[in-house]
Structure 1
Amino acid sequence: LEDIYQPHNASAVLRSCDSFGVQDVHIIENKNIFTITQGVSVGSDRWLTLYRYNQEGINNTQECLKKLRSEGYIIAATTPHTKQITVEQLSVNTKVALMFGSEINGLSEYAQNNADVSVKIPMQGFSESFNISVSVALCLYDMTNRLRRKHNNWELTETEKLDLELNWLRKSIKAGELIEKKFFRDICN
């Protein structure tokens, strides 16, 4: 997510990611600070792994793309403006990172120029684009359904699930890390 500035949209996106089983969300903050509205996200941000790119003086989009590519992701820029494939044509046979841009301007020129593929959501009316939270939900609905139909090994491993559950518990319990340290200190003595 690149430079999303409306908290209700940001929060709705997180809720959709959680609802469709997407674990990792990469948040780029070159111009806008990503803010979560709890009434909209209904706590979904606690169950997601959020990566934030917000260092001053650097191109955080470039840093995000570098990290995703190092992990084997194909970068798919969502945009209604260029020649592109539809979301239904986007392969689910490889790791894909969908990029969504700000509500008014969409993705930055850098993001568009450095994506591996451009993706659009087919539209029939006169509107140029969907709201970002709707776009995310439509793309995730299509891709996660196709992924589940085509692949038997798309889920997290048992070890990955256990690691996530432990992280969730740490976040959910007040002073969770301190309690964990005390627990291990006590059993080691």
Structure 2
Amino acid sequence: MKQLKLDDLAKFLTKDRKKRIEHVLSNRTRAISILLEDIYQGHNISAVLRTCDNLGIQDVHIFQDGNKTALSKGISLGSEKWVSLHIKDRAISKKVYIDNLKKKGYKIISTVSSSKKGSINLETTKFPKKIILAFGNEEKGLTKEILDNSDFFLTVPMHGFSQSYNISVCCAIVLSKLVSLLKTQNKFIHLTDKEKKELRVDWYKKSIKNSKSIIKNLTK
């Protein structure tokens, strides 16, 4: 079997498509990731994935031990195509999963509705180089297990009577401000060349209609 080369796939893409892929790669990061815990509504999962894609966040970790239907609906709308989903196995505890993320250098920042000890300010805090922003479900927020294993807490300012945001709106606000802030301060950590190469191949494949049959012919 022949080894698949990027140039072989490139022949099936337009110049504009290849240019778009390079633009997206140049604005992607793995230093900021999202963690979603037991989201009830599939459209909220989908909205968060779209936000991540558009703001350059490559990795989304999903803890969906409860409502599996919401997860399947959320990732069936095509939003997951350009981000990397990491879905926690139900056999693995949340603490073990989080500990593994911390071993990779990530700090867990949990979003909460009211300030508590360890709370940070989105605009004035000096953020760690690698962070996971955690968002809980629409009604109860994050569970005690997530909160107990968090490094910091982030409260999103609210000045209205409702004192609450839809989770997808909250995620969009936090990510938009954080990404803008880090880019302004030249602290936005881009993908490595190796990471770009891996994603480039993946996105080329996903950009080609009937890619499976085409790849099969190319590697004969």
Task: Give the deviation of 1:85 after TM superposition.
Answer: 2.1
> CA-to-partner distance for each residue in 1:106-139, whole Å, 9 max, x for gaps?
0010001110001110111222321100110000
> 1:69-108 to 2 correspondence within 5 Å?
69-83=102-116, 84-108=119-143
Q: Does the alignment pair 1:136 with 2:171? A: yes
More contact order relative to length (CA 8 Å, sep ≥ 6): 2
**Where does structure 1 differ by over 6 angstroms across 4 or more consecutive aligned residues?**
none
- Structure 2 counterpart of 1:75, which letter? I
User: Which of 144, 148, 154 matches 2:189?
Assistant: 154
User: Which of 109, 129, 132 matches 2:144?
Assistant: 109
User: Which of 43, 55, 70 matches 1:20?
Assistant: 55
Q: Which runs of 5+ in 2 are unaligned?
A: 1-35
User: Residues 177 and 89 from structure 1, CA distance in 2 versus in 1: closer, same or farther, beyond 3 angstroms?
Assistant: farther
CA contact (8 A) 1:100 1:132 kept: yes
Q: Give % identity.
A: 38
Q: Which residue is 2:95 aligned to?
A: 62
Structure 1 length normalisation: TM-score? 0.83
Aligned partners of 1:182, 1:150: CA distance in 2, in Å? 47
CA contact (8 A) 2:111 2:133 kept: yes
- Structure 2 counterpart of 1:121, which letter? V
User: Residues 89 and 54 from structure 1, CA distance in 2 versus in 1: closer, same or farther, beyond 3 angstroms?
Assistant: farther
- What's the C-alpha RMSD, in Å, of the aligned pairs? 2.4
Q: Which runs of 5+ in 1 are unaligned?
A: none
Secondary structure class of the residue paired with 1:136: helix
Structure 2 length normalisation: TM-score? 0.73
Secondary structure class of the residue paired with 1:35: helix
Aligned partners of 1:101, 1:153: CA distance in 2, in Å? 25
Aligned partners of 1:181, 1:90: CA distance in 2, in Å? 50
